[in-house]
Amino acid sequence: MTATEQAPAARIVLGANQYGKAEVRLVKVTRDTARHAIEDLSVTSQLHGDFTAAHTEGDNSHVVATDTQKNTIYAFARDGVGSPEQFLLRLADHFTGGFDWVTGGRWAAEQYAWNRIDDHDHAFAKDKSEVRTAVLLAEGGERSLVAGLQELTVLKSTGSEFHGFPRDRYTTLAETTDRILATDVTARWRYNRTDLDFNALYASVRALLLAGFAETHSLALQQTMFEMGRRVLQAHPEIDEVRLSLPNNHHFLVDLAPFGLDNPNEVFFAADRPYGLIEAAVQRDGDAAPAPVWNTIAGFC
Amino acid sequence: MTATEQAPAARIVLGANQYGKAEVRLVKVTRDTARHAIEDLSVTSQLHGDFTAAHTEGDNSHVVATDTQKNTIYAFARDGVGSPEQFLLRLADHFTGGFDWVTGGRWAAEQYAWNRIDDHDHAFAKDKSEVRTAVLLAEGGERSLVAGLQELTVLKSTGSEFHGFPRDRYTTLAETTDRILATDVTARWRYNRTDLDFNALYASVRALLLAGFAETHSLALQQTMFEMGRRVLQAHPEIDEVRLSLPNNHHFLVDLAPFGLDNPNEVFFAADRPYGLIEAAVQRDGDAAPAPVWNTIAGFC
Amino acid sequence: MTATEQAPAARIVLGANQYGKAEVRLVKVTRDTARHAIEDLSVTSQLHGDFTAAHTEGDNSHVVATDTQKNTIYAFARDGVGSPEQFLLRLADHFTGGFDWVTGGRWAAEQYAWNRIDDHDHAFAKDKSEVRTAVLLAEGGERSLVAGLQELTVLKSTGSEFHGFPRDRYTTLAETTDRILATDVTARWRYNRTDLDFNALYASVRALLLAGFAETHSLALQQTMFEMGRRVLQAHPEIDEVRLSLPNNHHFLVDLAPFGLDNPNEVFFAADRPYGLIEAAVQRDGDAAPAPVWNTIAGFC
Amino acid sequence: MTATEQAPAARIVLGANQYGKAEVRLVKVTRDTARHAIEDLSVTSQLHGDFTAAHTEGDNSHVVATDTQKNTIYAFARDGVGSPEQFLLRLADHFTGGFDWVTGGRWAAEQYAWNRIDDHDHAFAKDKSEVRTAVLLAEGGERSLVAGLQELTVLKSTGSEFHGFPRDRYTTLAETTDRILATDVTARWRYNRTDLDFNALYASVRALLLAGFAETHSLALQQTMFEMGRRVLQAHPEIDEVRLSLPNNHHFLVDLAPFGLDNPNEVFFAADRPYGLIEAAVQRDGDAAPAPVWNTIAGFC
């Protein structure tokens, strides 16, 4: 079709959209007694609904200000957080219930752990070994609630093999029956109910993931990953699916032979990049395909 | 339902999955003449297909090693890169064509720009002002090719208003007719063809986004964002959709009154967190809904 | 003085210099028994000595290649690491003893902690809550050995006041008798001997710093900091000086009054920037001033 | 000496110390005409003086609050910034002149560059290719003023050799007459006067550093580094010394022979860690040794 034959250009329109306030850093101290508790979160709120006029005309009459969303987060925290999942559910109810044109949204949180210093009542040290995550997608009456963790770095110094892979023109990798296996666990799991003890579930899932990693004699990181997810689903009927994204943090055995030394799997170079990247969903047979929304949350298809 | 009444547990199975090598750091020098050219990329390759046995049994007979994927990237670079889009298309053809059980995959690249130092033949300084991106999703014969840029930080010192937004119990924000508008542009655009001059298109889209930001008198960041996308679609029929994700990098006017000073929009505190986060797709009216895969690439629904 | 009156320009010469390999990522597995142990470090080696010809003429006959320094680190690790301090002392002895023109150097290490997963023999989870550091400066026969830790984040939810500070034209801060006190501890301590059980000392100093933070009712972060250092010096005659660098990680009480809510020190905004930055040395009365080298290591004067 | 023979423990005292507010993010818009200008800085202010009582007793009567220091920075910006060096000098004069017990301090700034978008009057894009730095140390009447830049990434695709280095038991590196030379320039230069056009000087030094890198046929990164500093000192009598800290960002030639391909310096793997680290001072012959304070600023001895 030449330019002169070209059909009248289609009108350009707004598609999917969302907006809000990201990374609201909230620290809640519960001090009913001398023994304080702290909850430390980064909360994001984004609204879905009829916001076309703001985009096409700069008409803000529907735009619940991102500053208002931030204020709401702090005001709600006055009643306590409880768990990131509960807190996000409250926010979703508030925003979808309070404004006719807000039909849904995306709410997300990271939570950071603190341990008491020597059992002190009000002194704490931050536990940076992992970050707890939660994402809630609401559309109409539907709720997709996904819990997770990330940045949980684990390593096995033996009990990992890798061989039997196909060899083509570009294959140079040697087979091995003993290597270091190391990864940073990012896990997301989808709840099928919202009336749950989310904190207890988090602790349970975390422990299952760690045990799955530690106890699996690994022939492939894929195998370890599947077993980690399998254990979670087996133990928790309230979870429909687990998604894992695991870098293979390569530890290369250093060749010490030029220096007249052997190296029986003792001295390794820990590489930064590139790294393997292994990702999968683990689910129950016969389950309906998850809503596309879930792909969006999980970040891969 | 008690445990004894419980239905037989559904079998736990593998769902969607992908694996490969991430962030392969590739620098290609073209030195046919004394005037060298450099291409600097970080390339990720992940395969889709039948990899169930690796997950459930540790059988690697289908697992094209991530190391092999890395080697392939470097070997292909011997012939030149050209553009990230072309390079990813070559990788996809190779992997889907070379292994029966590889049905698709995800290939992605970041490209970093370098400028000559004073027009020198072989000395360069890195231009860190933005990162060019490309993602290719291949499933069966289908190709979804998405170009983009990220980390392009822009600011308008006037020509931005924000007022007329609804006020509820949690609203404290004052209206303003003159504020700083600043953001880090992340843009993704989807091509509907693959026989394109991707480097020229990148330069054009980048210029359109910058002009859309600079020239729009803004009543809302949403309005600026829509106009940025609109200009790209209007100029480029080979692009079906643009997605933008724009933080609102707040610059708060400092109250100097306690020090006996006025502050007529001159002295600002540039805040880190929280920040607004405004995201939307801009598309042509009547276009079929994009494949779910696109949501996955774009990172929001 | 005009150009024509100008004295002959002084010759331009090389001043202080050092070079080497930085951030050599070393993971050492000790596997004498089924119960493995891992040591995970980032090691830097830099040499001092007569390297003038390399700078002025490109004559590398004295330049022990940085690649050689890296190889030496891996080769030495074959015998075990033991502690970062011991390892750096070995490296210093090797390089200053092995090359006539190498008169000293700077060796540094970070060490990352790993905990067993559920007491497993060879599965570990990384403990990211702090990083252990060591720096050794050697010049001639002299050794300056400084141990440390960084990124240890702590918080007190009460027991911290701040008042009585001077008020000038630019002072707007309100006085408080109850605030959150939070910081990321960076500590450096200088040993006066090298025949020490460095791992036991590290554990002891870490515990003393944490207790000093937790147990001090704080009228100023300066007071808490001094007490942290004081406890270390009091317990450890083998340490001559402690230097602390403590950001004041501000937690601002959110004003909930506009929403009809009180906020009795329960809901806080954790700010990123700016932050207070409080730094000091704690030492014994009458001690000779530390060598300038120490200022360099500690990073402030 | 046994415990019973031990001398009475020396009193534990405060040593060197400084405190203040770090990373005050200041954006100044100059809008005298329709053609705006912006200055974007991160400013740190720390005071030296008599602060012993705060450390030992929690007596804050001398503690100019870090919040007050922040306020002062914003208030002073009302009159304009001009250059980071001028701005730090004003702050030093204010704090050392305004409080009897403040005898000196350390003031530092980073400045971020912005370019106009297509010569627009009030729309800008951030130039992230380098960060400009300034540090001022004041003690009594003395001023040590050090300007600098960092994160300026440069690369030569040829014109770099490395051979003739000594070989010992741990040397495996091959000699080369053609390699990629790449680094991130961190430079610090010390002015001997304060009545200077600091912005013009910055532009000149930056250009000299780039030209020194580009135009030097390199036999060692040390040689390139020295030449970069030499050009600055030769052109600028108002500068007494230049210190450079240059990582050697290794680009390893990929071995394509296993794939039946040659690789005549065309395809490289850009490594992250470890990296070479080459540091030196360049100065004029016969100059008095710099004050120790300079080592502290420059970060190495």
Q: Is D194 a catalytic residue?
A: no
The answer, yes or no, to whether residue B286 has pLDDT greater than 90, is no
A171/B25 touch (CB, cutoff 8 Å), yes or no: no
Fold match between A17-140 and A148-301?
yes
Residue D69 confidence (pLDDT) above 50: yes
Which of chain A's residues have a Cβ under 8 Å away from the Cβ of B105? none
For A148-301, give the CATH class.
Answer: alpha beta
Supply the mean pLDDT for chain D.
94
Q: Tell me the mean pLDDT in the region D187-204.
A: 97
Residue predicted with more confidence, B298 or B45? B45
Q: Which residue has the higher pLDDT, C299 or C81?
A: C81
Give me C57's structure tokens. Answer: 């003429």
Average confidence (pLDDT) over B213-232:
98
- Can you give the pLDDT at residue C296? 55
The answer to whether the CB atoms of C274 and D61 lie below 8 A apart is no
Average pLDDT value for chain C: 94
CB count within 10 Å of CB C206 equals 17
User: Residue A288, exposed/middle/buried by CB under 10 A (0-12, 13-18, 19+)?
Assistant: exposed
From chain C, pick out residues whose CB is under 8 angstroms from the CB of D142. none
Inter-CA distances, C228 with C162, C290, D12, D120, Å:
18, 20, 12, 54
What mean pLDDT comes out for the span C104-118?
97
The pLDDT-based confidence of C287 (bands split at 50, 70, 90) is: confident
Angle at D59 between CA D53 and CA D65, to 5 degrees: 105
Task: Give the pLDDT confidence score for residue B3 in this predicted structure.
Answer: 44
pLDDT of C290 above 80: no
Chain Cα centroid distance, residue D92: 19
Contact D274 C226 (CB under 8 A): no
Taking the C-alpha atoms of residue A114 and residue C36, their distance in angstroms, rounded to an integer, is 29
Q: Taking CA atoms, what residue in B is nearest to D30?
A: B266
Higher-pLDDT residue of A2 and B32 is B32
Neighbours of D199 (CB within 10 A): 15
Q: Is position B236 annotated as part of the catalytic site? A: no
pLDDT band at C154 (very low <50, low <70, confident <90, very high): very high
% of chain C at pLDDT higher than 90: 91
CB atoms D256 and B36 under 8 Å: no
D249 is in an annotated binding site: no
What's the whole-number mean pLDDT along residues C187-192? Answer: 95
Q: Which has the higher per-residue pLDDT, A241 or A298?
A: A241
The per-residue pLDDT for C9 is 74
Q: Each residue of A154-176: pLDDT tens digit?
A: 999 999 999 999 999 999 999 99
Please give the average per-residue pLDDT across C185-208, as a whole number.
97
In angstroms, the separation between the Cα of residue B130 and the nearest Cα of chain A is: 21
Q: Over chain A, what is the mean pLDDT?
A: 94
Query: Cβ contacts (< 8 Å) between D57 and chain C: which residues?
Result: 219, 223
Q: For residue C276, is pLDDT > 70?
A: yes
pLDDT of the residue at D9: 75
> Looking at the predicted structure, is the pLDDT value of residue D296 above 80?
no
- With 60 as the cut, is the pLDDT of residue C29 above it? yes
Q: Domain C152-301 is classified in which CATH homologous superfamily?
A: Urate Oxidase; (3.10.270.10)
CB A240 within 8 A of CB A191: yes
Mean pLDDT of D5-28: 89
Are residues A158 and C77, on separate chains, in Cβ contact within 8 Å?
no
pLDDT digits (tens, 9 = 90+) for B77-122: 999 999 999 999 999 999 999 999 999 999 999 999 999 999 999 9
In angstroms, rounded to a whole number, what is the distance separating the alpha carbons of residues A179 and B233? Answer: 51
Indicate the domain borders of chain D: 17-140, 152-301
Does B222 count as an annotated binding residue?
Answer: yes
Q: CATH assignment of B18-140, given 3.10.270.10, 3.20.20.70, 3.50.50.60, 2.30.30.40?
A: 3.10.270.10
Q: Which pLDDT tens digit goes with each residue over A86-101?
A: 999 999 999 999 999 9
Closest chain D C-alpha to A242 CA, distance in angstroms: 33
Confidence check: pLDDT of B2 > 80: no
What would the 3-class secondary structure string for chain C be? Answer: CCCCCCCCCCCEEEEEEEEEEEEEEEEEEECCCCCCEEEEEEEEEEEEECCHHHHHHCCCCCCCCHHHHHHHHHHHHCCCCCCHHHHHHHHHHHHHHHCCCEEEEEEEEEEEEEEECCCCCCEEEEEEEEEEEEEEEEECCEEEEEEEEEEEEEEECCCECECCCCCCCCCCCCCECCCCEEEEEEEEEEECCCCCCHHHHHHHHHHHHHHHHHHCCECCHHHHHHHHHHHHHHHCCCEEEEEEEEEECCEEECCCHHHCCCCCCCEEEECCCCEEEEEEEEEECCCCCCCHHHHHHHCCC
Average pLDDT over residues A46-75: 98
Segment A201-235, tens digit of pLDDT: 999 999 999 999 999 999 999 999 999 999 999 99
Selecting among C28, C236, C250, C251, the annotated active-site residue is C250
Chain D residue nearest residue B32, CA to CA? D266
Q: Which residue of D1, D6, D13, D50 is the best one to mutate when testing the C interface, meaning the one whose CB has the most C CBs within 10 A?
A: D13
Across D223-242, average pLDDT: 97
Numbered residues of the known binding site of C for 5-hydroxyisourate: 66-67, 162, 179, 222, 248
Nearest CA in chain A to D172: A258
Using CA atoms, how far apart are residues D233 and D190, in angstroms rounded to an integer?
A: 10
- CB-nearest partner of A273 from D170, D258, D272: D272
Phi, psi of D236 (to 5 degrees): -130, 95
Residues of C with Cβ-Cβ distance to D166 under 8 angstroms:
61-64, 99
Q: Which residues of B touch A247 (CB under 8 A)?
A: 22
Q: What is the pLDDT of residue D294?
A: 53
Contact D172 A272 (CB under 8 A): no
Whether B50 has a pLDDT exceeding 50, the answer reads yes
Signed CA dihedral, A203, A206, A210, A211: sign only: positive
Instruction: Say what angle helices C198-215 and C221-235 make with each other, to 10 degrees.
Output: 140
Q: What is the mean pLDDT of residues A180-185?
A: 98
A21, pLDDT greater than 50: yes
Q: Is D222 annotated as a binding residue?
A: yes
pLDDT of residue B301: 38
For domain D17-140, the CATH class is alpha beta
Q: Select from B114, B155, B269 the Cβ nearest to the Cβ of D114.
A: B155
- pLDDT above 50 for C301: no
Is D128 part of the annotated catalytic residue set? no
Residue C288 binned pLDDT confidence (cut-offs 50, 70, 90): low
Mean of per-residue pLDDT scores for chain B: 94
Q: Could you say which architecture CATH assigns to the domain C15-140?
A: Roll (3.10)
Beta carbons of B172 and C258 less than 8 Å apart: yes
User: Confidence band (pLDDT; 50, 70, 90) for C1?
Assistant: very low
